[in-house]
Amino acid sequence: MAINAPQSFAADTLAHRVASLMPGVDLLLPQGEGPFPVAIQMHGCGGKKKLQGRWAAVARAAGWAVVVVDSYAHRGISRLEAYATVCTGLQLWGRERAGDLYAMLHWAREQPWADPKRIVIAGWSHGAWTTLDAMSMQPGKAMANAARLTGIPDEPFAGLVGVFLLYPWQGVGAIAPRAGLRVDVPISAIVGTADSVVGGKGVIRTLQKMKTPASPIVVEVFEGATHAFDELEAQDWRNRYDPVLTEKAHGLYAGFLRSAAERISGLG
């Protein structure tokens, strides 16, 4: 990602942001009767791709409802524009996109099929950056200004029981490395040692040293894995699909969700 100042956009209301996001949301419900624990999936800078459906299937098989968020459709950001501007840092930094996450958390807690006290966030690359930035900001005016969103609940993470991250960007523009996190939930992150996009070993050290309220971030180190090692359709020369590591990562996701389903959030 390049060192650039992000473009500025007008602030949005919580209700309007939810309404704007909903047409692009993929919702998968498991079999049986709810309420179900909920996994909210935040895509990487390239946008919502087929890999999100494969990960959602893992969560659904584990008994979780899955909300796959599309942060680009309502903004009119095409795949080409996303690669040219979001992936290079020209627009939509993690702190601003955090407004999408706050909105979807609020929406999920109100659904009749959802267990509002068992919610997990899963984020890929830019989506992981968004998640950690969102968890590092204090509720109030500063959060609203950064996220370009008004009406954020006093505790936007009510019901959160865990966070699962893949190859998170934590370089220029990220808040969490210097501010630390204020939300106390288990966090697991997968990072490859051959990831030339987020820095591999550098981001591993950053995550391991990040300030947290209690337990540190658990970093699963994937030796030899590149960025987006789980993307079968990857066309970027820096990203190499690895079916063995992808299967391992899917297993870790399923295990993380099984453990999270046994927890009841103390937030909210």
CA distances from 215 to 66, 139, 163, 229 (A): 26, 22, 13, 27
Give me the residues of the chain with pLDDT under 70, please: 1-10, 268
Look at residue 4 and tell me if it is in a domain: no
Look at residue 3 and tell me if it is in a domain: no
Confidence at residue 8, expressed as pLDDT on a 0 to 100 scale = 45
Break the chain down into helix, strand, coil percent, rounded to 5. Answer: 35, 20, 45
C-beta contacts of 229-234 below 8 A and 24+ residues apart: 229/167, 229/192, 230/51, 230/54, 230/55, 230/166, 231/49, 231/51, 232/50, 232/51, 232/54, 233/49, 233/50, 233/51
Look at residue 90 and tell me if it is in a domain: yes
Residues 128, 131: Cα–Cα separation, whole Å: 5
Confidence at residue 268, expressed as pLDDT on a 0 to 100 scale = 65
The domain of 163 spans 12-260
Look at residue 118 and tell me if it is in a domain: yes
Query: Where residue 211 sits, what CATH number does that domain have?
Result: 3.40.50.1820
Confidence at residue 10, expressed as pLDDT on a 0 to 100 scale = 66
Look at residue 6 and tell me if it is in a domain: no
Look at residue 82 and tell me if it is in a domain: yes
How many domains is the chain partitioned into structurally? 1
Backbone angles phi, psi at 134, to 5 degrees: -60, -35
Look at residue 5 and tell me if it is in a domain: no
* pTM summary value: 0.95
Look at residue 268 and tell me if it is in a domain: no
CA distances from 158 to 78, 83, 192, 223 (A): 32, 33, 31, 35
Please write the tens of the pLDDT for every residue from 193-235: 999 999 999 999 999 999 999 999 999 999 999 999 999 998 8
